Structure 1
C-alpha cells in the first residue's frame, strides 16, 4: 500500500524534504503529456545543470571526493566498494559487497548501499540480500549477457549482521557531510501527489525516488517485500 507524505508536525519537522523536492520538481505537472511544460520548469533546468556539475566528465572533484571516499570506506571495512553514480539520478551512491556465494551463473549477494543526495543535506543507507542469475541471449546475431535480479531482503536500520557495517558507514558519512541527516525509510517511501521525477517514468513517485536513485532499479521489488529493521530509524534527528 502506498502512503502519502505526512508526519506528526507537532513532534517532527520533515518540511526540508518537501522544500528541496518542490525546488527542483514541478509538482502537479506531468512529464509525459502533449504540450508538457515539465522541462521548462526552472527547477528542472537547474537540476540538470546541477547534475552535470556534480557528476559530469569535466568534474575533477567527483573522482577526488566521492570516488576516494568510497575507496576509503571499503579499505577501512575490508570490503569491496563499488560506485553506482550514473545518469540523472540526483545523488552520489555506492555499495559494499559484504558476502557472496554461488557458482556458475547463479550467485547470492549481501550488500550495504548508501547514497548522498545532491538536492539537500540528506543521505540514505540500506542493506540488500539478492540472488543474481546470468544467462546469454542472442540479439541481432550477437551474444548478450542478461542478468535476472531477485531481491530477498532489504534492511533499513542497523540490524543483525548488517548492524556494524551500517553504523560505521553512517559515521563516515556524517563525518564527511556535516549536517546531513538520514531519511528514515518510513518517510522516504511515502508519495507526494503530482510528483514526477526527471530520471524515472513512474506515474507516482516517492521521496526516496526524488532524492536518491530508486534502489538502483529495484524500487518495485523493494515495495513488495517487508523491510527488516526499524522503519523509523533516524526519526529522532528530525525532532523539533
Structure 2
C-alpha cells in the first residue's frame, strides 16, 4: 500500500518535488472527466512542448544524454540500453549486468537510472526479472507477446548491485551538477488528485510524475518487497 506524500518538514525539505509536480500537472483535475481543461493547464502545455522537442530531435539535451550513457557503459564495462520512451518526462537507460536463458525465457539483472526533465532529480535502482516470450493470436494473426515477472528491486547500493549503483550515481552527480537522487520511499508516495498526461492510472506516484511508470503502482511491483535502504539519499534533502 503506497502512502500519501509526507515528510518530516523539521529536518527535510522535499517541497522541490511537490513544486515541480504542481508546476507541470493540474493536481485535482481528473483527466478522464475533464480532459479539455486538463490539456489547457499551462504546465501540461509546457510539458508537451518539452517532450515534443525531444521526440523531434530538436532538444540537443537528448544527444548529450545518449553520449553520457554510452560513455558510462564503456567506462564501467557493461552494455547500456536506452529506455527513454514516448511522453515519459525523463531520460532513462539501464546497464545490463547479467542475462541468461534462451529465445523463449531468460533471466536478467539491470541497473536502471533516469534523469527528470521537470527538475534536478534523478533515480537509480536495480532490478532482477524473468522474461518469457510467446505468441498470441489477434484478429487471426500471430502477435509476439512478452510477460515479465519482477523478482527483485534493489533501491540502494547492495549485494551484486552495489558497485554499479555507486558508479552510476557518481557519474550522474558529475554530469548533472546539483541533481539529487529521490529516495525510493519518497518517490513511491502518491499525491491525491495527480494524474499523468500519458498514463491512465487513477493513482500516481512522485516517481511516475517525474520519471516514468517503470516502478508503477501495479501488482507486479507492489508484490515485490524492495531490498536495501528505502530512504537512501535522504541526507541530500536535509535542511
Give the Cα separation in 2 of the matches to 1:45 and 1:117.
Answer: 17
Give the Cα separation in 1 of the matches to 2:140 and 2:77.
Answer: 42
1:192 aligns to 2:191 (yes or no): yes
- Distance of aligned partners of 1:228 and 1:200 in 2 relative to their CA distance in 1, 3 Å threshold: same
Q: Give the alignment's Cα RMSD to 1 decimal.
A: 1.5
Give the Cα separation in 2 of the matches to 1:205 and 1:127.
Answer: 21
Deviation at 1:104, TM superposition (A): 3.3
Paired position in structure 1 for 2:51: 51
Deviation at 1:178, TM superposition (A): 0.1
- When structure 1 is superposed on structure 2, of 24-33 and 142-151 the one drifting more is 142-151
How do 1:140-159 and structure 2 match up within 5 A? 140-159=139-158
Deviation at 1:218, TM superposition (A): 7.9
Give the Cα separation in 2 of the matches to 1:144 and 1:234.
Answer: 42
How do 1:1-240 and structure 2 match up within 5 A? 1-33=1-33, 36-53=36-53, 55-59=54-58, 61-62=60-61, 64-215=63-214, 220-240=219-239
Q: What 5-or-longer segments of structure 2 have no aligned partner?
A: none
- Distance of aligned partners of 1:86 and 1:16 in 2 relative to their CA distance in 1, 3 Å threshold: same
Cα deviation code 1:52-108 (max 9, x no counterpart): 22x222326245301111111111111110001111000000001100111231100
- Distance of aligned partners of 1:147 and 1:22 in 2 relative to their CA distance in 1, 3 Å threshold: same
Secondary structure of 1:215's counterpart equals coil
Deviation at 1:161, TM superposition (A): 0.5
Cα deviation code 1:100-124 (max 9, x no counterpart): 1112311000000000000000000
- What TM-score do you get using the length of structure 1 for normalisation? 0.95
Deviation at 1:34, TM superposition (A): 5.1
